[in-house]
Amino acid sequence: MRVLVVGSTPLAVEVATALLDSGCEVNFVHPSEETAAPRDEAIRVVAGDPLIVLEEAGALRSDVLVACTTSDAENLVVSIFAKRRFAIPTVVARVNEPDDEWLFDAEWGVDVALSVSGLFAEAIMRSCAAAGAAAGALAESGPQQVEPGEPDAFT
Amino acid sequence: MHVVIVGSGRTGSELAVRLNSLGDDVALIDVDRRARKRLLPALQERFIEGTGMSRRVLEQAGIAHSEALVALTTDDFVNAVVARVGRDVYRVPRVFARRFDPAHTIIYRELGITAVSTVQATANQVAQLLHHERLEPRLSFGNGETLLVRSAIPAYLAGRPVSELSVPGEIEVAEVTRGGHSMIPEPSTLLAEHDEASFVVAAQSLGRLRNFLGGRWS
């Protein structure tokens, strides 16, 4: 599978490296020279304004595009270009500001919207739910079951 | 007319002052809360802190019943997104966006948004002043890419057809005034001494037109 990652963050670099490790062919568009680019030589890095270098970076033959810059507006514009001009089948976009999430839909060419804070919040909710379930199980079996001297029983 | 302005910097606040004095009802949006203090007292209460991409902020600014939306932030991506949201989501009838980087023309073209380019307008204006000082455009279109200019026809062009001054895509003769009477010429219309003509000309073809006219401008 061919994946094109557009990004200027450590997260984008991490995503590109993980995709490479899982067997994808990865191209990386690097909009700003001030930020980190992947160091792995197997990832082809194209520097420049994403809208101008998308084609050079292989947009026409990519199966997936990941728009992962720190600007929601830039991610949206890159996504709609990816879909309209290059017909990339799957467009994944990063949402930075929860307030902007309502825009990340098919109107902007986005197939999958991933909000970092949303995913983090969900993970916390899951942890809380798991802790709650554990606490509930403990409560059902009665407090006498918690043996004294083990205050860390459900952490 | 209710106008929403996204980006309350120098241009946004200046525009708000003008529209306000014309009787328009203006709402200003800016991420920087300090922008409020730079506004006239009458406009300060029309200021909303936030981004123009936020549904809450746009709706608080009255986007749903606005007749115009102007995106004037310093970020071309934000301007393009705000303008498209205004047009497609809120059906604002008139939408304009500022463009900083001429390389970003493709964004506005792809999304079908009318862009106002400060950078290109200034560059065209200064080039105009440096090279065609005596030629004052009567009208300028877009960001100064196309101009309407007027000039006397030099004696050596008398008796020549208008078509000789026309260069498709660059220069067209829009009108000829002869003896106080203006007419729209046909390609075969012959020019006469003392004629004045108006030309629709591409900014980059001004030098060519000047050469046609022997460097003489009225």
Residue A100 distance to chain B (closest CA, Å): 6
Q: Hey, where are the domains in chain A? A: 2-116
A103–B78: do the CB atoms touch at under 8 Å?
Answer: no
What ipTM does the predicted assembly reach?
0.79
Residue B51: strand, helix, or coil:
coil
The token pair at A9 is 């963050």
> What are the φ and ψ backbone dihedral angles of A116, each rounded to 5 degrees?
-60, -45
Are the CB atoms for B125 and B144 separated by under 8 Å?
yes
Mind listing the domains of chain B with CATH numbers? 2-121 (3.40.50.720), 132-212 (3.30.70.1450)
B21 CB-near residues (< 8 Å, 6+ apart): none
B107–A51: do the CB atoms touch at under 8 Å?
Answer: yes
**DSSP codes, A4-71:** EEEE-SHHHHHHHHHHHHTT-EEEEEE--TTS-----TTSEEEES-HHHHTTTTTGGG-SEEEEE-S-
Q: pLDDT by residue (tens digit) across B173-187?
A: 999 999 888 999 999
Are the CB atoms for A1 and A25 separated by under 8 Å?
yes
User: Does residue B130 belong to the interface with chain A, where contact is any CB pair within 8 Å?
Assistant: no
Predicted confidence at residue B213, as pLDDT, reads 83
Nearest to A12 by CA among A114, A118, A81, A83: A114
Contacts with A96 from chain B: Cβ below 8 Å: none
The token pair at B133 is 């000082």
Among A72, A81, A85, the residue with its CB nearest the CB of B53 is: A72
- In terms of Cβ atoms closer than 10 Å to its own Cβ (0-12, 13-18, 19+), residue A93 is buried
Q: pLDDT by residue (tens digit) across A102-118?
A: 999 999 999 999 998 88
Q: Which CATH number does A2-116 carry?
A: 3.40.50.720
Contacts with B50 from chain A: Cβ below 8 Å: 99
CA distance A62 to A92: 12
Residue B124 pLDDT level (bands cut at 50, 70, 90): confident
Q: pLDDT by residue (tens digit) across A85-96?
A: 999 999 999 999
